[in-house]
Amino acid sequence: MLDIRFVRENAEAVKENIRKKFQDEKLPLVDEVIELDEKARRAQAEADELKAARNRISKEIGKLMGQGKKEEAMQMKAEVEKDSQRLAELEEIQKDASAKLYEKMLIIPQMIDDSVPIGKDDSENVELEKFGEPVTPPFEIPYHTDIMDRFDGIDLDAAGRVAGNGFYYLMGDIARLHSSVLSYARDFMINKGFVYHVPPFMIRGNVVTGVMSFAEMDAMMYKIEGEDLYLIGTSEHSMIGKFIDQIIPEEKLPQTLTSYSPCFRKEKGAHGIEERGVYRIHQFEKQEMIVVCRPEESMDWYNKLWSYTVEFFRSLDIPVRTLECCSGDLADLKVKSCDVEAWSPRQQKYFEVGSCSNLGDAQARRLKIRVNGKDGKKYLAHTLNNTVVATPRMLIAFMENNLQEDGTILIPKALQPYMGGQEKLVPKH
């Protein structure tokens, strides 16, 4: 959420930012919030004048009563009562205008960074760099659930009977591989100096609106019926929420955190054939990294974060690339974002396995996350998040890139300690 003073002083820049995001339907909001802000400030100013006048008159009434001038005092008291009625009206006007202002301000998108490429949707995202050589083996690679079946590692039919489409049972070596990847990701981030967390898997509504836009919330979040609680779509939500209404001493920045959680998502909409199986699902597990820092440090942290994901995947012999998200593909709270995509030998293309985002002060403003500077002045922190790994989707890239012609799956050295020293998985059939 933007600062209303910034909108007031930079209305045309805010409108141009909306145009860059191809959200022209939001353009009227800028003039509307400026008008509501003016209405609220006028009501507040008049109310402040009335309060000051009432205080002065109250003192005069006391003097007049002390002097025995009761009739004059009663006349002035009647004026105070009349002003009290107007004051109540003004307070209601100010309260109503401020509430409408806040609601509309939540919809106006964050100012994007100047470096963000302009484009309408994800088809116009820009490839930045490739890491590792994409290899196509001289044998056919089966669909990922067919690979898992060879190891008796997945049961979608049973999951469908129990929970419906979009759920799964992982079993045996595949389930162990899934857990091993998450354990390795945990230790990988701890070794980078991040503090490991297991956060709440549900959050209150005020945290939800603090960490994401209404459009994202509607498309993603599951609400607990009868409770002010939502299942998290990613641990970023509860991890950023940890700092709600907090004032952080500047010397305690940056806060570098890594968190494990299950994630729950509605995943609205239809998807292609390659998104069957465990590619796009309602429940998965994830290791996340979160940074809360000073504004001037956020872009440096942004570049560090996505590079950690690249390093993690390369340590597992998976080629990846980074893709800069264009303006139209950025969620409304994001200043800048890039995706990390893994190579799929079967599909002969890359697919998303992680996303890194700099949200500037958008979440901090909504959640009132402030920093107490060394000079005593308070300012809003910047927040960032990035996926270390999300499973079981990541297993698609892992299996395809480590599959051998005889059907075995090689276990990279980095993962072998978490797999009981195994160097490869041998199929059951």
Tell me what the mean pLDDT of segment 373-391 comes to. 96
Same domain, 126 and 59: no
Examine the domain organization and report whether 8 and 156 are in the same domain: no
Contact 295, 379 (CB under 8 A): yes
* pLDDT one-digit tens code per residue, 69-100: 767 766 666 666 667 788 888 999 999 999 99
**For 232-361, where are the alpha helices, taking DSSP H only?**
235-241, 298-314
Query: Quick one: 99 and 126 in the same domain?
Result: no
DSSP-derived secondary structure for 22-42: T-GGGHHHHHHHHHHHHHHHH
At residue 161, does pLDDT exceed 90? yes
Q: Does one domain contain both 322 and 402?
A: yes
193 with 274, same domain?
yes
Whether 80 and 141 share a structural domain: no
Judging by DSSP bridges, how do beta strands 409-410 and 424-425 pair with one another? Answer: antiparallel
Looking at the fold, whether 128 and 92 belong to one and the same domain comes out as: no
The answer to whether residues 192 and 318 belong to one domain is: yes
CATH number at residue 346: 3.30.930.10
- 292 assigned to some structural domain: yes
CATH number for the domain harbouring residue 94: 1.10.287.40
pLDDT at 104: 96
If 0-12 CB within 10 Å is exposed, 13-18 middle and 19+ buried, where does residue 203 land? Answer: buried
- Average pLDDT for 193-197: 98
Strand (E) or helix (H) holding 215:
helix 214-220
CA distance 80 to 356: 58
For the cut 50, the answer to whether the pLDDT of residue 62 exceeds it is yes
Q: Are 132 and 343 in contact (CB under 8 A)?
A: yes
Average pLDDT over residues 137-159: 96
Q: Which of 55-69, 80-94, 322-336, 385-399 has the lowest mean pLDDT?
A: 55-69
Residue 115 in any domain: the answer is: no
Is residue 113 situated within a structural domain?
no
Structurally, how many domains does the chain consist of? Answer: 2
In a domain? residue 89: yes
Predicted pLDDT of residue 275: 60
* Assigned domain for 402 exists: yes
Residues 6 or more apart whose CB falls under 8 angstroms from that of 219 comprise: 266, 268
Q: Interior CA angle at 241 toward 239 and 244, to 5°? A: 135
- pLDDT tens digits, residue range 1-31? 899 999 999 999 999 999 999 999 999 999 9
**CA-CA distance, 283 to 266, in Å (whole number)?**
9
Q: CB neighbours (10 Å) of residue 282?
A: 17
Tokens of 192: 């980078």
pLDDT of residue 353: 96
Sign of CA dihedral 414, 418, 424, 427: negative
Q: How far apart are the first and last CA of the chain?
A: 55
Shared domain check, 215 and 268: yes
CA distance 353 to 336: 18
Whole-number average pLDDT of the chain: 93
Mean pLDDT over residues 238-265, rounded? Answer: 97
391 and 304 inside one domain: yes
Residues 249, 251, 255, CA angle at the centre, nearest 5°? 85
Residue at 266 is within a domain: yes
pLDDT in tens, 259-314: 999 999 997 654 544 567 999 899 999 999 999 999 999 999 999 999 999 999 99
Mean pLDDT over 384-410 rounds to: 97
Mention every residue, 6+ apart, whose C-beta is less than 8 A from residue 162: none
Does the pLDDT at position 68 exceed 90? no
396 lies in which domain range? Answer: 122-425
